[in-house]
Structure 1
Amino acid sequence: MAAEAEATREARAKVIAAEGEQRASRSLKEAAEVIAETPSALQLRYLQTLTSIAAEKNSTIVFPLPMEIMRSIIYSNQHNNNNNPYSNQHNGGSSTGTHEKNSRNMRTQQHHTDKDLGRGDDEPTEPFPPLPDEEILDVPLIS
């Protein structure tokens, strides 16, 4: 009889735990829907998490950057290096004649309008232009 009563208590405990998990998952789903509606809410939650981690002593925080920001920085660096008249990256370190060639390239560059950049009234825009994989590999590491 004691074993039967213990088995009944354990079964009830499992049911109660399962109901609690179900309520928790519903709450998490609702929170995810709210956060999905406003991207700034996700950023605030992220910062709250960092604040709670920072309160602990002797903890290391790895601060990941969103890939969109990195893509923008990489694109900007490559664009600036390609248009820099003093860059000697493409001619093996010699700057002889580089200034004239790059100045000519800079003068003949096409100037983009807002419409060219995808900012027209009827065109969807991407936050940053996509980069081919081979361009990402050529970016020098910052130490």
Structure 2
Amino acid sequence: MISLTVNQKTYQLDVDPEMPLLWALREVIGLTGTKFGCGVAQCGACVVHLNGEAIRSCVTKCDRANHQNITTIEGLSMDNSHPLQLAWNEENVPQCGYCHSGQIMSAAVLLRENPNPTDRDIDDAMAGNICRCGTYPRIRKAIHLAAKLNGGKGNEK
């Protein structure tokens, strides 16, 4: 039995400990905001927070997440009012939108660790998140806006 605390709610899951966390989140718990992109930790569509750190859920086994705290895009805010979600909307970041839950989750850790990032800081931190539509300039602009909306303070809720 695997015990996961996801978005502050605890789930007891009868799953194979080797199951990727992504599938437990999507298929067992039913939280489909986290996306499957590549399955080999290369694209970032599956990023969630494990104890506050950005991880690739497609390669993280449930056993590693057992008795840990997980935040998905659904748990970032209850009403989509997180500064990054507001900035993403304001800057019209998504084109197809597929990668953006992972992008936002990675950006949330960046802003928590560096509340006023430079363009270079953003590019370095977000380099592992692929957007096949190429909205990188809008992503960078939205991260800067989120930092301003948050008054330069880390924004992890």
Shorter-chain TM-score range: under 0.3
**Comparing both structures, which one devotes a greater share of its residues to helix?**
1
The structure whose RCO (Cα within 8 Å, separation 6+) is larger is 2
Q: Normalising to structure 2: TM-score of the pair?
A: 0.21
Q: Normalising to structure 1: TM-score of the pair?
A: 0.22
**Comparing both structures, which one devotes a greater share of its residues to strand?**
2
Larger Rg belongs to: 1
